[in-house]
Amino acid sequence: MILWLLKALEDHIPSVRNGTLIVELSDGDSTEIRTERSLRQTLHKADFHITTWKVRFVGSRPCLIECGVRWMRKGHHQPSTPEVIEQLAAAPDVKRLTWRS
């Protein structure tokens, strides 16, 4: 009985999730290229907390950004790709994206 109750409550208890995002930016027109600031804003709007941040530059432009993120998710779910990560992967200025959670 107690296990059944705990199982029913599990979907309502938030849990902390962690992930690593690696974004390689394209070499396109500089007006279309995502900046470090805009990537941070995108992640913050999705309620991600940035825990680590590493950037590789080519000249004065960031070309590869790797960051650790933490977010809250309710319930016990199978690992999946958050919607914001799928949106970033489809962005025209993203050449390659790797997500690990």
Q: How far is CA 96 from CA 23, 74, 75, 93, in A?
A: 6, 29, 30, 9
pLDDT, tens digit (0-9, with 9 covering 90-100), for 40-85: 999 999 999 999 999 999 888 889 999 999 998 876 667 789 999 9
Q: What is the mean pLDDT of the chain?
A: 86
> According to the model, what pLDDT value does residue 24 have?
94
User: In the predicted model, is pLDDT for residue 32 greater than 60?
Assistant: no
pTM: 0.81
Domains of the chain by residue range: 2-100
In this structure, the number of other CB atoms found within 10 A of the CB of residue 82 comes to 20
DSSP strand E in the chain: where?
14-25, 49-58, 61-74, 94-100
Task: Answer positive or negative: Cα dihedral of 9, 12, 16, 17.
Answer: positive
The CATH number of the structural domain formed by 2-100 is: 3.30.70.1110
pLDDT surpasses 60 at 92: yes
